[in-house]
Structure 1
Amino acid sequence: MFKTIILCLFVLFADGLFRTGRFSAEQLDFELKKVYPKIITPGTGQQDNNLVFFEFYEPRSGDFSILIYDTAGFRVREISSLDKKPFSQSSMNYYLAWDGTDMNNAGVPPGVYVYCLENGRRVFNGTIIVAR
């Protein structure tokens, strides 16, 4: 299927820092690291389950979006790369959060939702459950 290519590089990243070392091809591209939690309960007062977090690696600082669909295929929400937040100042790891609301900031009904994270080069998708 895919071969892992190991590169020895001297790289200037977008944050202005030089890094040397061994980088695999996967490390130099957009990557969805994890989505958590998979079940959220927005509006219930339980702070740790009010949001779903999308954690990703983006070394090229490009545009991307997260689209949230219901099971009927209707787009419920779009989250832009403009809303991304870095984990730390020198990191290429970012996160976005979805609070279980639609385009009008109204809470979505309980059910299964499909997310699609894309940046023009790669697409990642999966499911999230909203419970009340």
Structure 2
Amino acid sequence: MSTTPNDRRYAKSHEWAHLEADGSVSVGISDHAQEALGDVVFVELPQVGKQLAAGQEAGVVESVKAASDIYAPIAGQVIAVNEALQDSPEQLNSEPYQSWIFRLKPNDASELDNLLDSSAYQASID
């Protein structure tokens, strides 16, 4: 069974969003998503500085089974990418909630309220 930590919000497309202390939002994929993908072998990261709309494709996660687009759960500017995933993409499998893919400076942090909370996301995947 997938885990869904309570300290973040979830998109129906299986990304999680975590509001950091500095006001930025870290984005990764859920435990459910990494289980469905299987062994992750490559991550295409977005460009730092890119402005993303909510729901816009931000990158790609490739596994031995499939490639899956990663979407921005909220609108904002990409301010950082997790370079460690270039050498160790399997971190998304072993630590899906510690392994963020990119960080956004949100246009409007209240957009997080439009995403699913932990229990609603869990209900959507059960």
TM-score (norm 1): 0.30
More strand by share: 1
More helix by share: 2
Whichever of the two has the greater Rg, that structure is 1
TM-score (norm 2): 0.31
